[in-house]
A and B are shown apart, each in its own frame.
Chain A
Amino acid sequence: DQQVKQNSPSLSVQEGRISILNCDYTNSMFDYFLWYKKYPAEGPTFLISISSIKDKNEDGRFTVFLNKSAKHLSLHIVPSQPGDSAVYFCAASAIAGNMLTFGGGTRLMVKP
């Protein structure tokens, strides 16, 4: 049973528009969440994170929102650029353990 789910396997967005990637989790012990970005033939790279004491964290064009009551987080990319085309993984952790549980990934395609 997947504890972290990304229900959209793919997303296509026009350059300059907003990309919204979603992630749901079931384990209420998770209190730290990360987004990773992965290009083909490369390893995932860390993008942005948020702890459960916050509901929003922003870093440049990337913003992560956390809704604890709904066990839902989302990554917003504004404005989207063709170089953002990649697979995005959501990951969750309980601080005590630091083991990451990953979602299945969403492939984002930003069209010029």
Chain B
Amino acid sequence: NAGVTQTPKFQVLKTGQSMTLQCAQDMNHNSMYWYRQDPGMGLRLIYYSASEGTTDKGEVPNGYNVSRLNKREFSLRLESAAPSQTSVYFCASSERASGWVNEQFFGPGTRLTVL
């Protein structure tokens, strides 16, 4: 089992460029999440998908869009990158999103720099 995989590992963009971060999990989890990690801020939730076919905004959704392509894959898109989006992005998955708290499993992260 690979767990949660993310591509790419590193990316440098210029302001205004677009890109999509890919995430896939092989644990048959229902729920998937995108976080960003900034120094001193911990991990902040950008978007999540409680189940296939649903997506919802998290704490910091502005400037991002997501697609739950199928049960395994959840992508994060930056339509017009800004320097404020320079961060490390983590994808995570868990068995289910509501009615029970269960641990989230994280991918290795994508380090994004926007110049």
Contacts and interface: CB of A to CB of B under 8 A. Distances in A.
Contacts of B45: 99-100
Given A95-B101, A98-B100, A45 B106 contact: yes
Given A43-B90, A43-B106, A43-B108, A105 B99 contact: no
A99 B48 contact: yes
A93 B42 contact: no
Interface residues of B, number: 28
Contacts of A93: 101
Nearest to A6: B42
A96 B100 CA distance: 6
A83 interface: no
Interface string A86-110: 0001000101111110111100000
Contacts of B43: 44, 89, 100, 102
Contacts of B75: none
B64 interface: no
Given A2-B42, A102-B35, 5 more contacts: A41-B108, A43-B109, A98-B101, A104-B40, A104-B42
15 contacts: A2-B42, A34-B103, A41-B108, A42-B108, A43-B4, A46-B104, A51-B101, A95-B100, A95-B101, A98-B99, A98-B101, A102-B44, A103-B42, A105-B40, A105-B42
